[in-house]
Amino acid sequence: MANNMRYFIGNWKMFGVPKSINILNKINTFVKLDKNHNKRYKVIITPPYTLLESYSNIFKNKRISIGAQNCYHKDNFGSNTGAISPYMVKNLGAKYIIIGHSDNRAEGDNDIILKDKVIFALKNKLKIIFCIGENKRQKLNKLTFTTLRKQLTKVLERKFEENNIIVAYEPIWSIGTGKIPQQSELQKTTKFIKKILKNIFKTKKSPKVLYGGSVDSSSIKQFTELNDIDGFLIGGASKSSKNFIDIIKNYYR
């Protein structure tokens, strides 16, 4: 994969029914017709569990890859009502999985649980999109770097291998609020995250680091100069094909 390959990942959260496939079809057509796509970027969409199997089948040999938004922290089968294991996710055809989204951290996912999720997801050959980010209070108390360092080092390990991990930096105060970090701040934070990751994996090159939080077709223009950012995790704006396509178009304008 080319060094400057970018990721555009759509996190649908609690959105989508079978007919929402129309959104993916339109995105897929755009990507297919974009002759620069192969060299430049990869599109991943994470629909809810209920759509993983059908969408994974439909997009098997197409331009869009499908991922899950979460999983339970045990593997295989178990007596855990309502839970979906990494093994079950893998068997539905998903290739990627988001782990550590702030929505799930807020519901009780701590570092120990998250580490188990990563271990079992990797065992099932899923690629990890690992989310980290400080909340508003931590930011105001200048605890951003301390928080991020802890979130990374408590969960990630060298043996997970850098090629299996994508990190998404999502400041919690930025998710769904329309607020975006200042460019210089974001540049510093991305560099810091990459430094920690190189340390964890003992590599010269860091795993990919994405930004997430209020990315849409207009805010994306602020990111085009920030070369250290390897892509974007997009929530709200990924639920419309037009918005999602415009994000890609405006990024490469």
In the complex with ligand PGA, which residue's Cβ is closer, 75 or 175? Answer: 175
- Look up residue 171 and give its amino acid: P
Q: Check residue 170 for interaction with ligand PGA (CB under 6 A).
A: yes
Catalytic annotation on 185?
no
Residue from 236, 244, 248, 251 that binds ligand PGA (CB under 6 A)?
236
Q: How many chain residues are in contact with ligand PGA, going by CB under 6 A?
A: 13
In the complex with ligand PGA, which residue's Cβ is closer, 11 or 28? Answer: 11
Interatomic CA distance for residues 86 and 84, integer angstroms: 7
Q: Check residue 176 for interaction with ligand PGA (CB under 6 A).
A: yes
DSSP-based helix, strand, coil % in the chain, nearest 5: 45, 15, 40
Residue from 44, 210, 233, 247 that binds ligand PGA (CB under 6 A)?
233
Interatomic CA distance for residues 243 and 171, integer angstroms: 21
Rg (CA), the chain: 17
Catalytic residue among 101, 161, 185, 225: 101
Site for ligand PGA in 6-45 (CB under 6 A): 11
Q: Check residue 213 for interaction with ligand PGA (CB under 6 A).
A: yes
Residues in the chain: 253
In the complex with ligand PGA, which residue's Cβ is closer, 78 or 176? Answer: 176
CB of 28 to ligand PGA, least distance (A): 21
Query: Is 128 within 8 Å of 159 (Cβ atoms)?
Result: no
User: Each residue of 23-50: b (16+ CB within 10 Å) or e?
Assistant: bbeebbebbeebeebeebbbbbbbbbee
In the complex with ligand PGA, which residue's Cβ is closer, 24 or 131? Answer: 131
Q: Check residue 69 for interaction with ligand PGA (CB under 6 A).
A: no
Interatomic CA distance for residues 206 and 217, integer angstroms: 27
Catalytic annotation on 161?
no
CB of 9 to ligand PGA, least distance (A): 8
Q: Check residue 175 for interaction with ligand PGA (CB under 6 A).
A: yes
Q: Cα 84–88–89 angle (5° rounding)?
A: 85
Query: Is 253 within 8 Å of 217 (Cβ atoms)?
Result: no
Q: Check residue 215 for interaction with ligand PGA (CB under 6 A).
A: yes
Interface ranges with ligand PGA (CB under 6 A):
11, 170, 175-176, 212-215, 233-237
- Annotated catalytic residues are 101, 170
